Amino acid sequence: MKTLSTSERDLLNSAIREIPDFPEPGVVFRDITTLLNNAEAFSVLMNHLKERYQESDLDFIAGIDARGFIFGAALAQMLNIGFVPVRKKGKLPYTTVSEKYVLEYGVDEVEIHIDAFLDIEEPRVLLVDDLIATGGTAYAAANLIRQSGGVCVEACFVMSLDDLGGKDKLQENTTVYHLL
């Protein structure tokens, strides 16, 4: 399986803007909008992901609200498979299944449509988002995939903030892959 070259990794890292003290003091926000508007960097990223997953026999890609929609939908199109949005509570118009997860100060919830995976028995699903930090949302999304009869074959992230422990937590449920 192909890995990113040093020059490709450098290109992706340089295309992500870091904004200090956002959304609160002490936090460094990783802004992917600068990666999205850099055609070369976005192409390197998406072509790498296509190559990684094209032989994985996937049925769907599930993207986490909202930045996971961008990468997940683009990759689903490249692989010619379906895309399933994992949304924040109350955003989907049809019957849903939901999963709560703990935040630093409270609880939040994500959901998917009850028929998101159509009538496919044990669909193979790739979970996609831009970043994994503490892992609560991704853990809940992986649980939703399983509750809906799917198999979360891997969770894929552009970036991982390893020191926050989310990757380790999520690896209890599924394999985790990240580029940066």
pLDDT value, residue 105:
74
pLDDT value, residue 120:
92
Residue 1 reports pLDDT greater than 80: no
Query: What are 94-120's pLDDT values in tens digits?
Result: 999 999 998 777 899 999 999 999 989
Strand partners, 100: 109
Model pTM greater than 0.85? yes
- d(C-alpha 84, C-alpha 89), whole Å: 15
Query: What are 46-98's pLDDT values in tens digits?
Result: 999 999 999 999 999 999 999 999 999 999 999 999 999 999 999 999 999 99
List the CATH code of the domain at 6-178.
Answer: 3.40.50.2020
